[in-house]
Structure 1
Amino acid sequence: MIVGLPKEIKNNESRVAITPGGVFELTKNNHKVYVQKGAGFDSGFGDSDYINAGAEILPTIEDVYAIAEMIVKVKEPIEEEYKLAKEGQIIFTYFHFASNNNLIDAMVNSKAVCIAYETVEVDKTLPLLTPMSEVAGRMAVQQGAKYLEKPIKGKGVLLGGVPGVKPGKVLILGGGVVGVQAAKMAAGLGAIVNILDINLDRLRYINDIMPNNVITEFSSEYNIRKHIKDADLIVGGVLIPGAKAPKLITRDMLKDMQPGTVIVDVAVDQGGCIETTKATTHEDPIYIIDDVVHYCVANMPGAVPYTSTIALTNVTLPYVLQLANKGWEKACDENAPLQKGVNIVNGEIICQDILK
């Protein structure tokens, strides 16, 4: 199969979909790989690395789309790419269709085969989303701690505190991968961490593995309203696979927060779990509503592309190889988890959750 690896063009997206090591595995299996010039540069991989792995370099994104039977990307196609997708072409990437009706319409019209990383499911886990959720969960606290600084309109709170001064308080909505990784980072800094979820088995697990400064609590509107009153940093990490995230914090609840409170909504790709969430970029990452700082960057792991690219390739490459070796129909027939990743085929919406 002819596999294309375009350079990401989303704002400040520095990741690349496959490392040179992954390209080597594809070419070893007799597949042809075309990489757009400079695609891996920001992740630490030069064109020569890809050439040495057996790929050929093409000058433009148009060239890559035109020749490839399968496009492997990191982020969803943006408007400039809509016209490049073609009928029958496999596009394997993070799509996050639920929050983007224009993208749904464009991919339906293209009649491409759209397979989404984020809906590939194994035993109720999302293996292709997990490593980026791990990165984003850890970054949520890293970024939140930064934006709590007073020069950036935060509360002026040091999350870990110092001797004689109490530590900051972190509220985490959702006990999934994002929530656990965020709790781990916040707890490591010495903050007081409250993590809320509706799954009591998950809360028991978190309670067992976390230190004493992480407190688990059942998620309800009452408990959320209670905790937001004195939280310094709020991390939104709620996920319903393929569908829009529920709005757990509404606009009217902002008035109950202290000025300078920071919200980091990691669920932004799925529409966000905060009503006031709107996607931002690394170039312009925050905005302020009712004196509450919102950080809602839709591609947080793109800021640490070396780590993220390797972590992503580790989990996606086996599926890329299956698709290349067998074609998408046979690969999906033989692999139920991969079949769940099929969202749109030849103009037909297969995964109905993206419409919710």
Structure 2
Amino acid sequence: MRSETAPQGIDGSRAARKDEHVDLALGQQGDAGRNEFDDLDFVHQALDGVDAERVDLGVGIAFGAGPQHAAGRWRWETPFYVNGMTGGTERTTRINRELAIAARETGLPMACGSVSVALDEPDAARGFSVIREENPDGFVMANLGVGRPASDAPRAVELLGANALQVHVNAVQETAMPEGSRDFSSWIASIEQLAAASPVPVIVKEVGFGLSRSALRHLSEIGVGIADVGGRGGTDFLKIENARRPAGEYAMLAGFGQSALASLLDAPQGAPALLASGGVRSPFDVVKALAAGAQAVGVAGAFLAAIGRDGEPGGAERLVALVNDWKLRTRAVYALLGAATRDDLLATDLILRGRLREFCADRGVDLSALALRSEAPRP
């Protein structure tokens, strides 16, 4: 599909790449099949269910103190949110508008795609500021890539009137990207500097390849209070960037990284507050991530597909209907599992299979303890 003309003043190749990413990401939605969410099962407790009317879908995102803020807690009314996707072109402005309207109407927190283009080329700012215009009272997350100057953090927050700042890390994507950087040596220092400069809490987010135990320890050590483990299994940015190469020579890395569930179950004690995304296809996947330790779950591809390829009017209404359906079904699964709250899900018994089980076993995760959590004393 032809990319739209960039707004005047925006670098055409950069705009074309953003629109191309949308097309390639949507193209992957038709390929969505089995992933590691299918490798996690709950032990069915036939007599432990609760009344769905008693279920509270709200979640508290508790995070530690950072360089610029005290320890805190956000209260979100749903356990899932609109994760960062796009922005900066005429087409993606329409997409962000529809996403923002749906977030406003359903109470979902919402992140945007990287605002770097708007900081470099002010004509692109409308593609992001529309989010706050359409959702003046909602919880909004700005987004920057690691490696940006520390001074960009407050600028990104100001652009959206943001409540939080996502800093995304994407070494695998950069490796395959034709115009990507391959110097990752300063990334920890960059995250620390961006977090110190940000006037709001920072969420470090992988773009689809997982955050390891070591990575989460590094983030905790530099004072990052929140991390989105962003695992393998959803929108595949390695595949997207490799498709932009005539020879496709980075197909050799297919399947690289960890899933969201693997990252959650492998997380160390003392890790930042954990969010999860990557491969979330349904409310059941949301519940699985919450049971594995996520405090909330980000959704991108499934919501983008509801909005539509070009963000035309009507996309918001379709997404509102989908989100309301997800809320209904999430509540039903909570009740089935005997969970009145997200915290109750942490006492459900989990059985791991396949690649997820192999990963966790090799990493020393106690599989028996996961399978017998309902019998452990509650704190």
- Quickly name the TM-score band, shorter chain normalised: under 0.3
Q: Which has the greater radius of gyration?
A: 1
TM-score calculated relative to the size of structure 2: 0.26
TM-score calculated relative to the size of structure 1: 0.27
